Structure 1
């Protein structure tokens, strides 16, 4: 597993901190723009920088869902599979992609992703109360 080297690491962390600040101030679009800038700093292949790449994409998707920018959420959900190569695979990537597909109304794809996520996580992916609507859909 690779880690970002200076000075890229400092610039990356600075952008992520600024993004968090913008997010906390309700400036979600600005938060996303800063995360996109941070993404571009990560060398290829981005997936070897597990923690940075995975968490960044996860945050972009979550923020896109908050502001209902489903088109951008889909673009970033597709990128989740280019991240975190060394992470333990507990279905998180599929769950994120399933949520985006669900919100886009692509229920067949959502069901497929949720099925994989459910199997890999042994059902834990639906554990959060904010995931109740996805669990209801999956069980229907």
Structure 2
């Protein structure tokens, strides 16, 4: 799920679609190229009276302000680069195109799965 830069903060926060129950959204242009990242926390900080005039592009973090990873980057290397300002999220980009988003909670779930699953493997 992405957010176009021209979408208003009011539209972002008022969308009832359950797919939008995320804490952060990649902001992409019409060609799917990543422009930035917007967090729900940043959107909620916009005063209500300004939310219909303020766009996602106005409040998004620029790509220099949060981590960008490649599809083959190690999660252990990415984790320390995640910042609270970006809601502990990173965009995953390949050949300049957005292919995913990873969060600290995603990494935590993977680590939990690995540590609880691998000890139960049969010995070879």
Same fold (TM over 0.5): no
TM superposition score category, shorter chain reference: under 0.3
Higher percent of residues as helix = 1
TM-score (norm: length of structure 2) = 0.26
Higher percent of residues as strand = 2
